[in-house]
Amino acid sequence: GQSLEQPSEVTAVEGAIVQINCTYQTSGFYGLSWYQQHDGGAPTFLSYNALDGLEETGRFSSFLSRSDSYGYLLLQELQMKDSASYFCAVRKGNYQLIWGAGTKLIIKP
């Protein structure tokens, strides 16, 4: 089967750091992506890891360990506008994405 697991909800304080984990089991794997979706909005791309290690883009970083079938999204210096749902997704062949259930990030002042 194919599945991705991520926490359903994470709460953090403005200015803090938060890590959202994702574990996956898929029959094919080309890379792990992260998307952000605000309520009522469309998903927007954040990062993509095809190889092991850390990718950094501004306040956001993403990590992948293919041997552990595990990745995480790290958000630093949290801002209220970061309140959203975050999805991990595994890229299969033909560029199809298999999506996790999503993690709702709640940020408190």
Partner 1 sequence: SAVISQKPSRDICQRGTSLTIQCQVDSQVTMMFWYRQQPGQSLTLIATANQGSEATYESGFVIDKFPISRPNLTFSTLTVSNMSPEDSSIYLCSVAKTGASSTDTQYFGPGTRLTVL
**Tokens 């801002």, residue located:** 79
Candidate residues 73, 82, 102, 105; the one interacting with partner 1 per rule CB under 8 A: 102
Give residues 51-70 in contact with partner 1 (rule: CB under 8 A): none
**Is 78 or 85 the residue whose CB approaches partner 1 more closely?**
85
Residues that bind partner 1 (CB under 8 A): 30-31, 33, 35, 41-45, 48, 50, 87, 91, 94-102
